[in-house]
Amino acid sequence: MRFRRDESGQIIVLAALGMTVIFGFLALAIDVGLLFNAKRKLQNCADAAATSAAIDYMFNASQTTARAAATAAVSGNQMSNVTPTVNFNPNITSAYHNSAAYVEVILTQPAPTFFMGMFGHKTMTISTRAVAGMPGGGNACIIVLDPHASNAMQLQGSFDVSANNCGVVVDSDSSSALSFTGAGGTLTAGYVSVVGGDSGQTSDSNPAPVKGAAAITNPFPTLTGPNPATDCTAANSNSMSSVTSSNVGTLKTSGNITCFTNSSAVSITGVTLPSGVVVFENGVNFSGTITSGTNGTTLDNYSGSFNIGTGTTMNLTAPTTAPVTSPAASAVPAGIALMQPSTNTNQIQIQKGDAFGTFTGIIYAPTAQLYLQDSGGDKSGGWTLNTDLIVGTLFDKTASLTINSYTEQFGSTSPLTAVALVE
């Protein structure tokens, strides 16, 4: 009886049971920590493989070489025992709805366990996924950036917009972000993507707009271009001597930058522009026949409006190498044909009446309206834009517009050919 009533030693039993539980949780925590560490390393490897595959696919358009690039990246990250699964045109949720420009890589690997092995779980399978591709719109050649404007992209009357091999993306969340009026035109594109909604004769769009898409961010958020007050220093008397112009203040140059430091919009008739960047301090009106310089020209409308008048013929080709690389605030990448910094919200008009021509290069005006108006009849089929349009809003009033993606055509010379991870 005394033995039964003896309570000595109970704490040892309780401690043994408690320590068993504590060591069990400790073992679990160690194994889980090791698994998380293994998954992090595998994720880094997947990110590298997806990026390598996307870069290769962007330049070579070959699924075979892209898969080889992914495999090489995996091996380079000291995981030669892992075979990547590479998928093209994946189902993604964080980018715009058309995913043809993206590559998905999935990696799976068994990871050893220690304490869990005593319970029959000697390995655990971990899996990671990464998706990479061109930022912005991938193969979008019309990107309308205003996030809230109604009629952010407005197509009116007998417009004819043809973008057969690329896409249209409208960032506005307005219920009438994409507007069709007049029931007399046609929008043809690889795809049409709208964050908000559409209104009017939407059957004018082929294919039909896809609503509720994710917005695309500005691909050049820090691009401002040269400042005419600081980046043009020397008076110039010859490089633009052939120009017929009015209201010109002082024409200055510095390196590959030519500045019209005029007090208001300058008018230019019939000229071969200098190579490099031509900056208009307070806007410009073009007429006559305008052509770019031998090594390509970027038009930079620093402030004021940009207008191409009735009857004008303009053939503009962007530089294929960066015309200005320093200082950083003034840098301009290759491939920009016409730019307007975000501080300038004035309208850009590149067609009026029978004006026509060809732009080869990106048109970048993130806060401005690009306005195309044909009141006098298109000449030779209107404008051909070998370009990617990146504008605040777009209004096409009965104008004919043919767009061929600059990035799709010229690859490495386009600043939009950077690759980014999206998932």
Q: Which residues pair with 402 in a beta bridge?
A: 162, 384
Mind giving me the DSSP string for 144-158? E--SS-TTSEEEESS
Return the pLDDT at 95. Answer: 44
| Other Cβ atoms closer than 10 A to 378 | 19
Q: What gap in Å lies between CA 158 and CA 222, rounded to an integer?
A: 37
Return the pLDDT at 409. Answer: 65
Return the pLDDT at 177. Answer: 95
* Half-sphere exposure (Cβ direction) of 368: Cα atoms closer than 13 Å: 28
Return the pLDDT at 341. Answer: 94
Return the pLDDT at 26. Answer: 63
Return the pLDDT at 415. Answer: 62
Q: What gap in Å lies between CA 286 and CA 245, rounded to an integer?
A: 9
Given a cut of 50, the residues of the chain with pLDDT beneath it are 94-98, 136-137, 237-239, 241-242, 244, 246-249, 376-379
List the one residue out of 339, 336, 346, 372 whose CA is nearest residue 357: 372
Return the pLDDT at 304. Answer: 93
Helix H segments across 77-187? none
**Strand ranges inside 257-399, DSSP E:** 257-261, 266-272, 276-280, 284-291, 297-301, 306-308, 313-317, 336-339, 348-352, 356-360, 362-373, 383-386, 389-397
Q: Find out whether the peptide bond into 327 is cis, omega within 30 degrees of 0.
A: yes
Tokens of 246: 């009015």
Return the pLDDT at 36. Answer: 79
- Residue at token pair 């033995």: 3
pTM over 0.75: no
**Residue 155 phi/psi, 5° resolution?**
-120, 120
Return the pLDDT at 307. Answer: 92
List the one residue out of 388, 317, 384, 377 whose CA is nearest residue 350: 384
Return the pLDDT at 96. Answer: 43
With beta carbons less than 8 A apart as the criterion, state whether 264 and 246 touch: no
Model confidence pLDDT, tens digit, residues 5-23: 555 556 665 666 666 666 6
Q: Angle at which helices 63-76 and 10-60 pack, to 10 degrees?
A: 140
Return the pLDDT at 275. Answer: 87
Return the pLDDT at 379. Answer: 44
| Other Cβ atoms closer than 10 A to 63 | 15
